[in-house]
A = this chain, B = another copy of it.
Amino acid sequence: MQTIESQIIRTHQAGVHLRTATDRQIKMALKALGDILEKDPSVLIRANRKDLARQQPDDPRNDRLLLNEARIRAISNSIRVISRLPDPTGKILEKRRLENGLQVEKITVPLGVVGAIFESRPNVTFDITALCLRSRNACLLKGSSDAEYTNLAAIGLIKRSLKVAGIHPDAVTLLPSPRETVEHLFSATRYIDVIIPRGSESLIRFVRKNSLVPVIETGAGVCHVYVEKEADLEKALNIVVNAKVSRPSVCNALDTILVDQAIAPEFLKRLQPLFDDHRVEIFAEPKAYSLLRGYSFLQKATEEDFSREFISLKCAVKVVKGIDQALAHIDQYGTRHSESIVSRNKAHCERFLQEVDAAVVYTNASTRFTDGEELGLGAEIGISTQKLHARGPFALEKLITEKWLIRGNGQVRE
């Protein structure tokens, strides 16, 4: 049995070799992994059944853990898509010759080693592996104990595909699931270059608080749609319903509607039957509450409701006096994720775009477009709500760092 430290160091060393692997090897490994999954999903399914058998049978979280042939086919397809993405490393960002003759080049290079800490969902194991390989990063995977058998089977398949391509199998390492493991990850600043937590808010908070290794957060989205008084109401209703209802469990779903007092009566009246169809529960501040009286799923909003990422068919509603109040509300309660204004007033739309501080700001569109695939970046690790390095859809192109290469012929500094 290897110690966690030695596994981390070996992964780091394999990362050095990944930097110089050929593009053909990378593609071959990913293709092999896709093929293995498609041809023989049974190993994975058997292991997954063992994990499921250990859970409470009626736990709603079991669905996150479940793998079946259709899901494995989707994973396999996703790996193939990633294998066809261009190598994000080795791009020349700058190139020039200084007066002293130094040849200066700035290029993109892999980060080195990515540590991923995640919960349940077995597709994450494959997604992270494929994105890391495609960007020549070694990776350390730390899953949760409920997916232990599944992850063990997964890493076996991953290592088989690395060997097919002649890539050192230490390039992807599954660490044991006990919590002590993460302490090692958090302090290994010499060997791990970034830690990416994927999962609940509490997991992300725990990682941010304790890791000495830099963290990229893919955080919660408390997203607003501001229905301005010059909004096209038909479009506003369509956008609000889409943003709330089309997939309520994801981070780019709508959480709070801000509606201008001038149009609030009509807008909220027309919204009620639409939300009623989907049984959307509304948390309303007093003005909105009185306008919505009679709606079937109505509650009074508490202060905290405006900070909630509902990830379910719930929605907060607030009547505002105008754009200033809307901007102030978003500044106070938003999580810098996705924010939208619906209005025909161009000046207000532009002001909203400029002043709202968020990864993605919209005019007259649903917040649901905040997504790597939708924006043409390919598969994403998540939506980053932080401002450093990666903001918004965090995809392959950001799994890199920069490096200056300077070629001289004896230059010294005066």
**Chain A residues proximal to chain B, CB less than 8 Å:** 16, 19-20, 96, 98, 102, 104, 109, 111-112, 193-194, 208-209, 212, 214, 216, 232, 235, 238-239, 242-243, 246, 331, 349, 353-355, 357-366, 368-370, 374-376, 386-389, 391-392, 401-414
Contacts and interface: CB of A to CB of B under 8 A. Distances in A.
Nearest to A353: B405
B387 A391 contact: no
A336 B214 CA distance: 15
Given A388-B214, A413-B366, A355 B16 contact: yes
B235 A365 contact: no
28 contacts: A16-B331, A98-B374, A102-B365, A104-B375, A109-B357, A111-B388, A194-B387, A208-B212, A214-B388, A239-B410, A242-B412, A242-B413, A243-B412, A246-B412, A246-B413, A246-B414, A361-B403, A361-B406, A362-B407, A362-B408, A363-B407, A364-B408, A364-B409, A365-B408, A369-B406, A369-B413, A387-B401, A388-B389
Given A102-B365, A388-B401, A411-B369, A20 B354 contact: yes
Contact of A375 (B216, B362, B376, B404): B404
A209 B370 CA distance: 32
Closest 9 A-B residue pairs measured CB to CB? A365-B408, A242-B412, A235-B410, A387-B401, A368-B413, A388-B389, A389-B389, A360-B404, A365-B411
Contact of A359 (B102, B364, B403): B403
* Interface hub of A212, A370, A374 (most chain B Cβ within 10 A): A374
Contacts of A331: 16
A27 B358 CA distance: 27
A404 B102 CA distance: 37
A214 B391 CA distance: 13
Contacts of A102: 365, 369
A359 B16 contact: no
A230 to B, nearest CB: 14
Given A96-B376, A98-B375, A365-B411, 12 more contacts: A16-B331, A98-B374, A104-B375, A193-B387, A194-B387, A208-B212, A239-B410, A359-B403, A360-B404, A365-B407, A375-B404, A392-B403
Contact of A361 (B212, B370, B404): B404
A375 B358 CA distance: 32
Contacts of A366: 411-413
B411 A111 contact: no
A411 B364 contact: yes
A376 B368 CA distance: 41
A14 to B, nearest CB: 13
